Chain A
Amino acid sequence: MLLNQYNIGYICTKQQCDNGLADKIAFRWIAASSVPVNYSFNDLDLQSNKFANILSALGLQTGDIFFTFLPKCPEQFFCFLGALKKEVICGTLFSNFGDEALLDRLGDSGTVGIVTKKSFLKKIRRIVNQLPKLKYVLVVDIDEHQDDTFLSYPKMMADASDGYDTPLTTADTPSVLHYTSGSTGKPKGVLHVHKSLLHQVKTSQEVLQLNADEILWCTADQGWVTGTSYGIIGPWSLGVSQIHFGGMYDADQWFKVLAEEKVTIWYSAPTALRMLMQEDDAVFQKYDLSHLKHIFSVGEPLNPEVIQWSKRVLGKEIYDTWFQTETGAIMISNRPGIDIRPGSMGTPVKGIKPAILADDGEPVCDGVQGNLCLKLGWSSMFVTYLNKDDVYQKKFINGHYFTGDTAVRDMDGYFWFKGRSDDVINTGGHLISPFEIESALLELEEVAESGVIAAPDEMLFEKVVAFVNLNQGFEPSKELEIKLRLYISNKVSSIATPQDLIFVDKVPKNKSGKIMRRVLKARYLGEDEGDISTLED
């Protein structure tokens, strides 16, 4: 390893080749309907070199921002690592984002370029005029450039050199950008730096038990932090071979992958595991999972029933892990070597010091619910919210980062998730802002008011429920419900689509006009509405 070289792109590729792993499989790409393809660490190095050279040729500089907007595919990895080699900040976008979600993220970040697919161009074209800084849209499945902006990725890659000297990159050079939702305002750009890989590597080893002999399948999409921290950075910094599967959820197909690819470490999400739990046991019994050593989960609390199911049907524990986009890597977890307490978040990872604090920053006693906070001092911590450093500064008190989650610590040091201290919705492991959905609904001429809440859901952990008051002249109908659902799905994201859409005569607000989501939630769940003295007349 080069002394003081912190470059994630370099360490995931060239360093592995220099360590003698050039011919080792970095990942086996399994598309849903074609023959699997192996990519070695040498392939990963050369392809990412080519992409770094493309960015150089396009004039991108250190600190410029570039986004990937792709479904799972090999190009995702080449572009991500190539951008990081070039010291360009690389953001990743969930492939089901709609126009509004894209505009918020690409506009706020002032992104210079984006790589995407032909089928997503319609969304990009609808917003491109509102993105003055966007110069280049590289398309992975067109053969010819369309103009000076819409360029053919295959053509540029074919012409690019596969040699690239990665600059010596300092620990604090900005690296990865993920946007995360809050309960108010637009999504915020969570910026990390290259030294994040130190904690990502450490937790890959100490929690996920990764070493060079393992075969990892992390099912997370690269649009989210788990997909970059543990689907790219952690494992490839350790020379670990991965499986990347391009198909959708399918119990049979997933278990075929686990069995045939001899996956040893599987990192997935509670929603997916709960969907598997619905299947007949016979589905799993025909597959040989003897190579599988450990199963890990992330994204939302793992209910004890899933752990029991796994032990009964798969003969394996499932270890729940907890972290956030902001923390960049696992903070608290269940893991091999400690006793699992089903339903708990587990215990802190070595070097991480969580605390349960009251709103004023004072510690509360064990067994008492409070704000889950983390004492500063780990390498994968984000360094700011892009363009919103004032919001970033407000996340700290007395040297602790306030996560926005509430939890309890028991007397044995295990942490137990209790909920959010704000209105953010965690559906299927993805955080959704009710504000984003409400704002999008208000763009429709039929909608006068809207209020969006989270409601408990057996499969998704929480589901999106929207209350809509229509303007005069419009009547509730099934066709209108479809229009609203599809509008949210295509403008924001499929994951933001309301599972329940309820037409109401009025959305409750307080006297200053703020939506009283607490009251909506109580009404939806049939619970006491509590203090409604501030409700407007």
Chain B
Amino acid sequence: MIILEHLREIFCEVFDDDEIELTPEMTANDVDGWDSLSHVNLIVTIETRFKIRFTQKELLTFKNVGDLNRSINDKVSINR
């Protein structure tokens, strides 16, 4: 839950919109401004703030926010 809230804060910062509410089903099509270039900003910010790294293969498997959140949780728990 804490990770999801932190992720929401990153989304708000990257897409400059304080009203974004994350749902597991949410995709780039649901967030105005989520294009391929801002996606790079999103991933770089997530990696830096959570101190994790995604592989290229992992990035390709993310279909929605739920996938992204699950992967962050897995990586953060390994780092602990």
Q: Footprint of B on A, CB under 8 Å? A: 32-33, 71, 95-96, 98, 117, 119-120, 122-123, 246-249, 275, 428, 478-479, 481-482, 485-486, 489-490, 494-495, 497, 499
Could you tell me the distance between the alpha carbons of A89 and B17 in the complex, rounded to whole angstroms? 29
Q: Is the CB of B29 within 8 A of A32?
A: yes
| 4 further contact pairs, Cβ within 8 A, besides A32-B30, A33-B29, A497-B40 | A95-B32, A96-B35, A248-B35, A248-B36
Could you tell me the distance between the alpha carbons of A497 and B37 in the complex, rounded to whole angstroms? 7
Residues of B within 8 A of A123 (CB): 16
Q: Is the CB of A486 within 8 A of B45?
A: yes
26 A–B contact pairs at CB < 8 A? A32-B27, A32-B30, A71-B32, A95-B32, A96-B35, A117-B32, A119-B32, A120-B32, A122-B17, A123-B16, A248-B29, A248-B34, A248-B36, A275-B36, A428-B37, A479-B48, A486-B41, A486-B45, A489-B14, A489-B37, A494-B33, A494-B35, A494-B41, A495-B37, A497-B40, A497-B41
Q: Is the CB of A486 within 8 A of B17?
A: no
Q: Is the CB of A122 within 8 A of B18?
A: yes
Q: Is the CB of A482 within 8 A of B48?
A: yes
Instruction: For residue A475, give the distance in angstroms from its CB to the closest CB of chain B.
Output: 15
Q: Is the CB of B37 within 8 A of A482?
A: no
In B28-61, the 8 Å CB interface with A consists of: 28-30, 32-38, 40-41, 44-45, 48
Chain A-chain B contacts (Cβ-Cβ < 8 Å), number: 63
* Nearest-neighbor residue (CB-CB) of A275 within chain B: B36
Instruction: For residue A454, give the distance in angstroms from its CB to the closest CB of chain B.
Output: 15
* Nearest-neighbor residue (CB-CB) of B20 within chain A: A119
User: Which 9 residue pairs are nearest across A and B when measured between Cβ atoms?
Assistant: A32-B29, A490-B16, A494-B38, A494-B37, A119-B32, A248-B28, A247-B29, A478-B48, A96-B33
A119, A247, A479, A490: the one contacting B19 at CB < 8 Å is A119
Residues of B within 8 A of A489 (CB): 14, 37-38, 41
Residues of B within 8 A of A71 (CB): 32
From known contacts A33-B30, A482-B48, A485-B44, infer whether A119 and B37 are also in contact, taking CB-CB under 8 Å.
no
Q: Is B5 an interface residue (CB 8 A)?
A: no
Instruction: For residue A124, give the distance in angstroms from its CB to the closest CB of chain B.
Output: 12
Residues of A within 8 A of B40 (CB): 497, 499
Q: Is the CB of B41 within 8 A of A98?
A: no
Could you tell me the distance between the alpha carbons of A445 and B35 in the complex, rounded to whole angstroms? 28
Could you tell me the distance between the alpha carbons of A127 and B33 in the complex, rounded to whole angstroms? 19
From known contacts A32-B29, A33-B29, infer whether A486 and B37 are also in contact, taking CB-CB under 8 Å.
no
Residues of A within 8 A of B28 (CB): 248
* Nearest-neighbor residue (CB-CB) of B35 within chain A: A494
Residues of B within 8 A of A117 (CB): 32
Instruction: For residue B63, give the distance in angstroms from its CB to the closest CB of chain A.
Output: 10
Instruction: For residue A447, give the distance in angstroms from its CB to the closest CB of chain B.
Output: 18
Could you tell me the distance between the alpha carbons of A82 and B33 in the complex, rounded to whole angstroms? 26
Residues of B within 8 A of A494 (CB): 33, 35, 37-38, 41
Q: Is the CB of B36 within 8 A of A249?
A: yes
* Nearest-neighbor residue (CB-CB) of B32 within chain A: A119
* Nearest-neighbor residue (CB-CB) of A479 within chain B: B48
Q: Is the CB of B44 within 8 A of A482?
A: yes
Could you tell me the distance between the alpha carbons of A275 and B35 in the complex, rounded to whole angstroms? 13
Could you tell me the distance between the alpha carbons of A485 and B39 in the complex, rounded to whole angstroms? 12
Residues of A within 8 A of B44 (CB): 481-482, 485
Could you tell me the distance between the alpha carbons of A248 and B30 in the complex, rounded to whole angstroms? 10
Could you tell me the distance between the alpha carbons of A170 and B76 in the complex, rounded to whole angstroms? 65
Q: Is the CB of B41 within 8 A of A122?
A: no
Instruction: For residue A106, give the distance in angstroms from its CB to the closest CB of chain B.
Output: 17
Could you tell me the distance between the alpha carbons of A492 and B19 in the complex, rounded to whole angstroms? 21
* Nearest-neighbor residue (CB-CB) of A71 within chain B: B32
Residues of A within 8 A of B13 (CB): 486
Could you tell me the distance between the alpha carbons of A248 and B31 in the complex, rounded to whole angstroms? 10
* Nearest-neighbor residue (CB-CB) of B34 within chain A: A248
Residues of A within 8 A of B32 (CB): 71, 95, 117, 119-120
* Nearest-neighbor residue (CB-CB) of A427 within chain B: B37
Instruction: For residue A370, give the distance in angstroms from its CB to the closest CB of chain B.
Output: 33
Residue with the greatest number of chain B CB neighbours at <10 A, chosen from A95, A478, A494, A497: A494
Could you tell me the distance between the alpha carbons of A485 and B44 in the complex, rounded to whole angstroms? 10
Q: Is the CB of A96 within 8 A of B38?
A: yes
Could you tell me the distance between the alpha carbons of A197 and B42 in the complex, rounded to whole angstroms? 40
Instruction: For residue A508, give the distance in angstroms from its CB to the closest CB of chain B.
Output: 27
Instruction: For residue A93, give the distance in angstroms from its CB to the closest CB of chain B.
Output: 13
Residues of B within 8 A of A275 (CB): 36
Residue with the greatest number of chain A CB neighbours at <10 A, chosen from B19, B30, B32, B40: B32
Instruction: For residue B31, give the distance in angstroms from its CB to the closest CB of chain A.
Output: 8
A120, A246, A428, A485: the one contacting B41 at CB < 8 Å is A485
Could you tell me the distance between the alpha carbons of A260 and B35 in the complex, rounded to whole angstroms? 24
Could you tell me the distance between the alpha carbons of A82 and B38 in the complex, rounded to whole angstroms? 32
Residues of B within 8 A of A482 (CB): 41, 44-45, 48
Residues of A within 8 A of B36 (CB): 248-249, 275
Could you tell me the distance between the alpha carbons of A119 and B48 in the complex, rounded to whole angstroms? 26
Could you tell me the distance between the alpha carbons of A249 and B39 in the complex, rounded to whole angstroms? 12
Residues of A within 8 A of B37 (CB): 428, 489, 494-495, 497
Could you tell me the distance between the alpha carbons of A375 and B44 in the complex, rounded to whole angstroms? 47
Instruction: For residue B21, give the distance in angstroms from its CB to the closest CB of chain A.
Output: 12
In B1-29, the 8 Å CB interface with A consists of: 13-14, 16-19, 27-29
